[in-house]
């Protein structure tokens, strides 16, 4: 008798599985209890495997969920950071705009008071340029009528002088530069002297008249130059902060602080033309009005009413009774 080959065995096994499946389906449809028992048994046998699978898979699933949410959290944080940076930039821009508007108004007020014809310009850069130490670059040049050796001011007073001019920009030498010098007049005594820059926002004054005495807070004004070049007269320059008491100086000297904050320039004005008449002390900055200190009035409590025995009315009444 011939033995079944491998292919015949496979066919036989497939037929047996099909028949068994049909038999089990038939028994299950007829409600034979053996099928539910087999199902429960298989479920019980596979339950440990399922628990083990959950024990292995659940941490991995949770890790994946955490990583997903972490990615979303990081994305949200990055968006908030970008939004915060954008709002900060807007706030800074708003503050800059407000500051420049205030500087422009102050510059126009001073120019209007002095009757100067000016060109207003925005400061593009501040720092060393060409061979000058303390300079700023402005966004107006020869096309706006600006020329070298023109006076530059802002709303507080003298800023410097134009040194180099280009079609759409110009370089301004600041009054604080060590090479800067200007003839000034003391508003209080009309004494004249030479003011030199000392860096930062400071200068040093050397009086040409030793008969006059300098005092702290003395106001210095520009003397002016021939044809108003490079300086127009009457520009507020600065004020005396300290007068050294030393005999080593041939001429009287004093430390000076410029009115204009040369370290924070936003808007400046270039004086194109000025009246021939010297305004003298007309442009002296007004002294700041001190803030009044509130006073508190303390009222004393009224003394107690005098006793009836000491009251004048009682005394008069008693006299009347004794007289009767």
Indicate whether 316 belongs to any domain: no
Indicate whether 314 belongs to any domain: no
Burial track 36-50 (b if 16+ CB lie within 10 A, e otherwise): eeeeeeeeeeeeeee
pTM confidence score: 0.62
Which pLDDT value is given to residue 13? 76
Domain end among 62, 95, 114: 114
Q: Are residues 168 and 226 located together in one domain of the fold?
A: yes
Domain end among 84, 114, 144: 114
Q: Are residues 182 and 107 located together in one domain of the fold?
A: no
Q: Are residues 91 and 151 located together in one domain of the fold?
A: no
Indicate whether 30 belongs to any domain: yes
Q: Are residues 186 and 261 located together in one domain of the fold?
A: yes
**Could you tell me if residue 26 is left (phi over 0), alpha (psi between -120 and 50 degrees) or otherwise beta?**
alpha
Q: Are residues 176 and 123 located together in one domain of the fold?
A: yes
Q: Are residues 177 and 195 located together in one domain of the fold?
A: yes
Question: Which parts of the chain sit beneath pLDDT 70?
Answer: 1-6, 24, 27-46, 49-50, 52-54, 56-57, 61, 67, 128-132, 246-249, 288-324
Contact criterion met (CB below 8 Å) for 256 and 195: yes
Q: Are residues 76 and 143 located together in one domain of the fold?
A: no
Q: What is the DSSP string of 217-247?
A: T-EEEE---GGG-S--TT-EEEEEEE----S
Calculate the dihedral angle through the C-alpha atoms of 102, 105, 110, 114, rounding to the nearest 10 degrees. 170
In the chain, the number of structural domains is 2
Which pLDDT value is given to residue 103? 81
Contact criterion met (CB below 8 Å) for 158 and 258: yes
> What are the tens digits of pLDDT across the range 29-60?
666 665 566 666 655 665 776 676 667 667 77
Residue 35, domain extent: 18-114
Q: What is the DSSP string of 45-72?
A: HHHHHHHHHHHHHHHHHHHHHHHHHHHH
Q: Are residues 123 and 94 located together in one domain of the fold?
A: no
Contact criterion met (CB below 8 Å) for 169 and 137: yes
Helix (H) or strand (E) holding 73: helix 33-114
Indicate whether 101 belongs to any domain: yes
Indicate whether 95 belongs to any domain: yes
Q: Are residues 238 and 203 located together in one domain of the fold?
A: yes
Q: Are residues 42 and 158 located together in one domain of the fold?
A: no
Domain end among 96, 114, 132: 114
Indicate whether 319 belongs to any domain: no
> Encoding tokens for residue 219?
């106001």
Cα distance between residue 202 and residue 235, in whole Å: 17
Alpha-carbon torsion (3, 8, 11, 13), positive or negative: positive
Helix (H) or strand (E) holding 40: helix 33-114
Indicate whether 22 belongs to any domain: yes
What's the CATH number where 170 sits?
Answer: 2.40.10.340
CB-based burial label for 282 (10 Å; 0-12, 13-18, 19+): exposed
Q: Are residues 143 and 188 located together in one domain of the fold?
A: yes
Q: Are residues 170 and 267 located together in one domain of the fold?
A: yes
Cα distance between residue 279 and residue 165, in whole Å: 28
Indicate whether 43 belongs to any domain: yes
């Amino acid at each position: 008798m011939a033995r079944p080959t491998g292919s015949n065995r496979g066919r036989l096994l497939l037929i047996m599985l099909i028949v068994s499946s049909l038999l089990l389906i038939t028994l299950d449809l007829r409600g034979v209890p053996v099928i539910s028992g087999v199902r429960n048994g298989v479920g019980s046998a596979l339950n440990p495997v399922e628990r083990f699978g959950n024990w292995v898979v659940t941490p991995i699933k949770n890790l994946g969920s955490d990583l997903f949410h972490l990615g979303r959290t990081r994305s949200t944080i990055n968006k908030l950071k970008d939004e915060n940076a954008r709002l900060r930039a807007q706030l800074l821009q708003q503050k800059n705009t407000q500051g420049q508007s205030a500087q422009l108004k102050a510059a126009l007020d001073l120019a209007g008071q002095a009757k100067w014809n000016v060109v207003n310009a925005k400061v593009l850069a501040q720092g060393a340029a060409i061979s000058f130490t303390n300079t700023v670059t402005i966004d107006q040049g020869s096309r706006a009528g600006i020329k070298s050796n023109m006076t530059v001011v802002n709303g507080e007073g003298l800023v410097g002088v134009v040194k180099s001019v280009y079609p759409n920009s110009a370089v301004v030498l600041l009054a604080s530069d060590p090479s800067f010098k200007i003839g000034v007049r003391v508003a209080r005594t009309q004494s004249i002297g030479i003011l030199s820059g000392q860096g930062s926002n400071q200068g040093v004054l050397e009086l040409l008249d030793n008969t006059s005495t300098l005092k702290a807070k003395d106001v210095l004004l520009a003397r002016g130059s021939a044809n108003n070049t490079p300086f127009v007269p009457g520009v507020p320059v600065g004020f005396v902060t300290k007068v050294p008491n030393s005999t080593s100086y041939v001429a009287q000297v004093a430390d000076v602080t410029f009115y204009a904050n040369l370290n924070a320039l936003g808007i400046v004005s270039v004086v194109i033309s000025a009246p021939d008449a010297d305004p003298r002390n007309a442009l002296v900055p007004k002294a700041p009005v001190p803030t009044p200190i509130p006073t508190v009035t303390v009222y004393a409590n009224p003394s107690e009413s005098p006793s009836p025995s000491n009251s004048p009315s009682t005394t008069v009444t008693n006299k009347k009774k004794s007289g009767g």
